Structure 1
């Protein structure tokens, strides 16, 4: 790999670590034992909305940051797969990004344990497990990822919408976490679920957090390949900083 490609992988790894640490810190602070947020916002639905907004805001800030400028800030294997299937990344980019995301997720989750201690443990470091109905959990993860990938593909393919792509994520996750989290934890991101699972050793129905997001991604890709939306074209595998590309990963090259 070229030096700039390694730089992109490193940025993606660090960005995913920050997403896990920052986003799951919001989960722990809002819902952990002794949380002060529970006193002034006792309704768990509104606390989930707040938590989703903060999680999404973490992703938004990373996307806008120099890290997002370098890597494109996928921060999610499902997003990387979507860009790959839209012919915007080579095979080595797909594999490299997913590995970087998984490593970053483990690092971010591990740092959580050191920073939050007992409060983090009370939320099992933000690990995702299905609720009482695994079918509903699977459907919830499929729908959440479908909406996430559709939003990203729609905004990044439209010249007027492109600049607003990062700002959709906090709003989207506020709604998704508020409504869907009781079903599955509202991951919509295999790396986000993998990190806490590895750190805590809690692998309950972990397969769901890979199969369901990739199913949601596949459905989104089918929609964008349909006659309704096939006129939309994505020209770069990034969520922001569209004119900047130091790597060989992110701009419609032949798969190698």
Structure 2
């Protein structure tokens, strides 16, 4: 249960801090604008912080796509994977609930939750699939045997920063189904109707990454 609670807390922090940066300090906020770069770093730094906080407890997946990738790569049991995903989604919902309450009372001029969205289906699907694939490859590589594991958190967090810089204009960047589910539940409307893409595409990218990594890795990564 400690592992599952750690995943809940980590995902809650990721959503609250990452999505919160978009809500309170996005480009539409004239007095505290950080823009795309700032939001990208907010997500990446959230991951770095949580890796070094809960990594020793749960491995700090805080992302159902990572958990699925680890399952396909035989680095986590099906039982743990199932509970990880459930608690990650619960954590994302809690983070979104806190953000919704804060944003509703702040007069924020942007989305109240930092929900994902897209205008063109195919580019959005390709982006979420490819960028999740890249993200998972970094996760597998930086945590593999022989890698500089003490710096895995930095590698993973900075990779997420890079992904957000490119992908924010396309979908707002998910590469994490839980991060999309929580905000969409509170945003409703179009965010909810488009949610399927932010579940299917990241899962697809994660599965592809797991098979590719198993094919090219010379030593198995540690679970």
TM over 0.5: yes
CA distance in 2 between counterparts of 1:121 and 1:94 reads 38
Describe the SS at the equivalent of 2:192. Answer: coil
Unmatched runs of 5 consecutive residues or more in structure 1: 1-5, 42-46, 237-256
CA distance in 1 between counterparts of 2:110 and 2:147 reads 44
Runs of 4+ in 1 over 3 A off after TM superposition: 32-35, 118-121
1:158, distance to aligned residue in structure 2 (A): 3.7
1:33, distance to aligned residue in structure 2 (A): 4.4
Q: So what's the TM-score if we normalise by structure 2?
A: 0.92
Which deviations, in whole Å up to 9, do the C-alpha atoms of 1:191-226 show, x marking residues without a partner? 000000112223132110111001111221221132
Which deviations, in whole Å up to 9, do the C-alpha atoms of 1:137-193 show, x marking residues without a partner? 001101110111000001111423211111023322222222111111111000000
Q: So what's the TM-score if we normalise by structure 1?
A: 0.80
Q: How much is the aligned-residue C-alpha RMSD, in angstroms?
A: 1.7
Q: Which of the numbers 107, 129, 133 marks the counterpart of 1:142?
A: 129
Q: Which of the numbers 6, 10, 13 marks the counterpart of 1:15?
A: 10
CA distance in 2 between counterparts of 1:90 and 1:129 reads 32
When residues 119 and 192 of structure 1 are mapped into structure 2, their CA distance, relative to the original with a 3 A threshold, is farther
Question: What does 1:91-240 correspond to in 2, within 5 Å?
Answer: 91-117=78-104, 118-120=106-108, 122-130=110-118, 132-201=119-188, 202-226=191-215, 229-236=216-223
In the alignment of these two chains, the number of paired residues is: 220
| Structure with higher helix content | 2
CA distance in 2 between counterparts of 1:167 and 1:33 reads 29
CA distance in 1 between counterparts of 2:146 and 2:109 reads 44
